[in-house]
Amino acid sequence: GDGVALGYWGREDLTAERFMPDPFSDEPGARMYRTGDMVRWLPDGNIEFIGRTDGQVKVRGFRIELGEIENAISELPQVKDRLVMVRQDGPGEKQLVAYVVPENGQVAEDPEQRADLLVQLRSRLRTHLPEHAMPSHFLVLPEFPLNANGKVDRHALPAPEAGQQVLRTRHVAPRDANEKALASIWSRVLGVPDLGVHDNFFDLGGHSLLGIQLLTQVKQEMGYKLPLATLFRSPTIAQLARELGMSEQPKVQLKNLSAIQPQGTKVPIFCVHGDEASYFIPQHLGLDRPFYNFFHQGEDGARILYTEVKDIAEHFLEELRHVRPKGPYVLCGFSFGGLVAFEMAKRLRASGEQVPALVLFDTYEPEEFARVMKREEKFHEPLKRSVLRRIVRWYLKRDKPVPLRFRHFYIIDTYNEATYRYDAGTYEGPLTIFKAEGSAGPGDLGWNRRAQGEIEVVTVPGDHYSMIREPHVETLALELARCIDKGLAKQAVEAV
């Protein structure tokens, strides 16, 4: 049918395996997709889902091919064998666990050699996998346990132990009450005992969803309400404890805008929904470039007040002007955040302000974005989506915070609906599109329909998720700096 994709990007073997001719269509070249779902057709006409026939799993709302993770691990020459599986050994969400047998059996027994292998594993996977496909735990074993048939006995594989999963720094124990309280919370959220104050949250397997959970517990147990930006800016226990010690309410309470790097003399960057990029980009731009990020509404479970792109843009502009009353303004945005940044730039220019650089990170033009989203929604679990919407509405009607496990859906569902309703119009200023190498959209992601001024397309390494994470984010950051310098230079020439 029309909803079937063309294939897997750069994976002809997987395309041939998963796509087949459609025997029910009269259209030449029509194909079907092998979903991997195993079902039973009941006498009453209903279809009962039994399980999966392949290694595809769903973790934190993302569909993940375990085979792709295993292939990425196998490419490391120090690895003899590997196995990736989903485990849920206690209360909480499911986690990806990678088991590795090294070529040199002594590596599994030597803590230093094992740590070196883990560093190489995590570094390699960061270049090949999106964040949601990164294993939370790595276990190095001398050999895999086998069953009577000579196959890996999955039930005999050990549960993850924190010491084998992560990149650790020189251990420094918590030194004061705040550090001890934070270490206790971190240990529960990450499942990592004996934390040092210089261990990095993200190197310990943390991600934005776990970050929200961590800061929720900090608020409940320690009384500090911190935005997610604080964790991106201060990702170690020592740094976060220092933030708590300096915590003061600003004169103007900004709900979504946060200063990731407020110091510097250069024109600041205002990023919309930068997520992990808001933590990584400033590290590559130097200390003289201020960087601010607009975080998502609804991260705390509260009702999302602004549900139209234009309303979100106007609200964000109000907060922006508290920080920088006059331009020039440099704006960027990731995914849906790019649509908001686009609308903000339009309004700034309409008010007479200068926007020398507007950069969209893998953001589809609104009509193209809506078309892609509608196609995905049509073929991906409409019943589950309907149930989740009813659950979210139940909490909102009672003025209760949406529980953590439903917040990601609530935010994304709100964005999708806003995209469908957004009338973007056109933009006369310079526009730059950062397109991920793995993006299957049109060359400029459809933005030629909207751009009346100069438009530049920059292809950056990675896919939609990994482009804003290490190591690819360094290329993105350097290209961003180039675009800003180019825009400011052109503005200076035009002003003469």
CA pair distance 412, 296, nearest whole angstrom: 10
CA 64 from centre of chain: 14
* Long-range CB pairs of 404-410, under 8 A, 24+ apart, other chains included: 404/209, 404/212, 404/213, 404/216, 404/301, 405/93, 407/212, 407/298, 407/299, 407/301, 408/60, 408/61, 408/209, 409/61, 409/385, 410/298, 410/304
Q: Is the CB of residue 457 less than 8 Å from the CB of residue 435?
A: yes
**Which residue spans of the chain are classified as CATH 3.30.300.30?**
57-164
Around Cβ 59, how many Cβ atoms within 10 Å?
A: 17
pLDDT in tens, 127-161: 777 666 778 788 888 889 988 888 888 888 888 76
CA pair distance 163, 194, nearest whole angstrom: 9
Around Cβ 26, how many Cβ atoms within 10 Å?
A: 6
- Tell me the β-bridge partners of 361: 334, 434
Q: How much is the mean pLDDT over the chain? A: 82
Instruction: Name the band, by pLDDT with cuts 50, 70 and 90, for residue 169.
Output: low
Which segments of 424-464 are extended strands (E)? 431-436, 455-460
Q: Is the CB of residue 232 less than 8 Å from the CB of residue 279?
A: yes
Class of domain 249-495: alpha beta
Q: What is the residue whose two structure tokens read 């943390």?
A: 206
CA pair distance 133, 119, nearest whole angstrom: 17
**Which residue spans of the chain are classified as CATH 3.40.50.1820?**
249-495
Give one word for 236, left, alpha or beta, with left for phi > 0 and alpha for psi -120 to 50.
beta
Instruction: Name the band, by pLDDT with cuts 50, 70 and 90, for residue 162.
Output: very low
pLDDT in tens, 98-135: 899 988 877 877 777 877 788 788 777 877 776 667 78
pLDDT in tens, 484-493: 999 999 988 8
Among 106-120, 272-286, 353-367, whose mean pLDDT is lowest? Answer: 106-120
**Which residue spans of the chain are classified as CATH 1.10.1200.10?**
171-248
CA pair distance 116, 8, nearest whole angstrom: 33
More confident residue, 352 or 32: 352
Give the pLDDT score at 368: 87
Token pair, residue 13, equals 């073997």
Instruction: Name the band, by pLDDT with cuts 50, 70 and 90, for residue 250.
Output: very low
Using a pLDDT cut of 70, give the percent of the chain over it. Answer: 86
Token pair, residue 257, equals 């805008």
Give the pLDDT score at 391: 94
CATH of domain 57-164: 3.30.300.30
Instruction: Name the band, by pLDDT with cuts 50, 70 and 90, for residue 481.
Output: very high
Q: Average of pLDDT values for 20-46?
A: 78
Give the pLDDT score at 309: 95
Yes or no: domain 171-248 corresponds to CATH 3.30.230.10: no
> Cα–Cα–Cα angle for 369, 313, 390, nearest 5°?
60
The CA distances from residue 8 to 16, 33, 226, 271, 459, in Å, are 9, 11, 40, 31, 19
More confident residue, 482 or 260: 482
Give the pLDDT score at 479: 94
Q: DSSP states of 105-123 as a string?
A: GGGGT-HHHHHHHHHHHHH
The sheet with strand 137-140 has its strands ordered as 79-87, 95-102, 137-140
More confident residue, 168 or 220: 220
Residue of 204, 237, 202 lying closest to 222 (CA atoms): 237
The CA distances from residue 4 to 28, 180, 381, 384, in Å, are 14, 52, 15, 21
**Phi and psi angles of residue 39, each rounded to the nearest 5 degrees, phi first:** -130, 170
The CA distances from residue 205 to 90, 96, 143, 192, in Å, are 17, 10, 24, 10
DSSP state of 296: P
DSSP state of 146: B
More confident residue, 127 or 431: 431
